[in-house]
Amino acid sequence: MSIKYIAAHDVKIVLSDKEKAILIHIDKHLLGCQTIDCLMEMLWQQSRELVPCNRIGISFVENDGIRVTARLCKTDYDNIKLNEGYTAGLRNSTLKPLLDEGKARIIDNLEEHLLQNPESASTQLLIEEGLKSSLTLPLIVDDRAIGFLFISSKQAGAYQYSHAALVQVIVDRIAQAVEKIWTIRKLQQARTDYMQLLGFIAHEMKSPLAAAMTLGHTYLEGYLGETDPLALDTIGKMVRVSGYLVNMVNNYLGLSRLETGEMKYKPTEDVKFLSEVFDVAWDTVEARYLERSNQLSFKRPTSDIAITADVGLLRMAIINLLDNAAKYGYENTPVEVSASFNKGHLIFKVKNEGFGFTEEQSQKLFKRFSRLQQPGSEDRKGTGLGLYLTWWIIDKHNGAITTQSEAGQWAEFTIDLPGALPVFD
């Protein structure tokens, strides 16, 4: 028979000084491995010092124990046929005793094993890589078999029982770390996939919503002919709701771009803050103010202020502050806004009469998904992203954003951007 199953824990071995030193090295560096690639590299280097090894791979049990999937591999050759992602069923596999009994498996001759198990596609692939024999051990954590460690050689009959026992000592050390680091990697990938999906959905929603707003404004402003009072009221509400949705979509799109690394700070010199940033931002949120009967009280400087800025990002930050001032302000109250030039800095302030926040709550304002609850504000819907994105944007501009508030009465946000110059027409 080309295949042997061994209770590796029961094999008695006496470790040499070299083997002891390698195990100490593994223990010492295991906790320092923060990624699965780091762990695999260490395992690859140290295992080759202990046992014959031309290929090492880790596969994980998935789909509730039904399948095993190759996820990681290192070789000293390039002709890889059994790639990461290869998957196979476990039901009739010769791996079953490893799962059921925790045993190690030695295959002395892969070609002979394939003759006895012609349905084994994985064996065929390993033979095509030039491998002749293999040693496999289960990765067990808290009596759960999470996967397998495969070590293979280009020499037939390369593995003895002592090799299985020695690798078992390594496996006992690394199994828990492998599971933890692999789980983190899967969570990171799931997060990336989620953010990419979120970005796709937000992007697909943005264009039709913007088109609906444009069509609504076209009707409201009389460009389509005579207007009906009832239609004006209804379409006005549609435009306001669309404006809210556009702002929400922009925040989700911003979060997606930020988390996936696609949101880049691309500054342009001599950006006119009032005409290129504020006025465009105000056009975006004006419908919110009409809906809540808030009045913009803007202390506008006599001349524009030039700054170095990423226009798109800075608009997003100003939109978020203006929108929040109306959303969390009392109806039919003014929102006081000012922009000024002071010793090379642009100072932009937004102050409302509204729910405000406490000193303790102010510490959470710029955290992602943080939403503050003040008495009376329970019906205010939000994503908890606007201020987080605003903080990130202002930070990228080497600026600062600060807050003041008296709970239940008012709140004020101040942006301070350096490198400003007055514009003289």
Highest-scoring range by mean pLDDT, 61-70, 99-108, 260-269: 99-108
pLDDT at 108: 94
Q: Is residue 140 a part of any domain in this protein?
A: yes
Q: What residue numbers bound the domain in which 280 lies? A: 266-422
Last residue of a domain, one of 182, 197, 214: 182
> pLDDT, tens digit, for every residue of 170-221?
888 877 777 787 777 777 777 777 766 666 676 667 677 777 777 787 877 7
> pLDDT, tens digit, for every residue of 33-86?
778 888 888 889 988 988 999 999 988 888 677 788 888 899 999 999 998 888
Last residue of a domain, one of 182, 208, 232: 182
Q: What is the pTM of this model?
A: 0.54
Q: Is residue 129 a part of any domain in this protein?
A: yes
State whether 176 and 285 are in the same domain.
no
Name the pLDDT band for 372 (thresholds 50, 70, 90): low
pLDDT at 345: 96
For the cut 90, the answer to whether the pLDDT of residue 144 exceeds it is no
H helix and E strand count, the chain = 11, 15
The angle subtended at Cα 102 by Cα 96 and Cα 104, nearest 5°, is 80
Q: Is residue 255 a part of any domain in this protein?
A: no
Last residue of a domain, one of 129, 152, 182: 182
pLDDT at 389: 86
Domain total of the chain: 2
State whether 175 and 291 are in the same domain.
no
> pLDDT, tens digit, for every residue of 290-331?
878 899 999 999 999 999 999 989 998 999 899 889 888 999
pLDDT at 380: 53
DSSP assignment of 105-156, as one string? EEES-HHHHHHH-TT-HHHHHHHHTT--EEEEEEEEETTEEEEEEEEEESST
> How large is the average pLDDT for residues 389-393?
89
Q: Are 277 and 314 in contact (CB under 8 A)?
A: yes
Q: Is residue 16 a part of any domain in this protein?
A: yes
State whether 154 and 16 are in the same domain.
yes
As a whole-number percent, the residues of the chain with pLDDT over 90 amount to: 36
Name the pLDDT band for 382 (thresholds 50, 70, 90): low
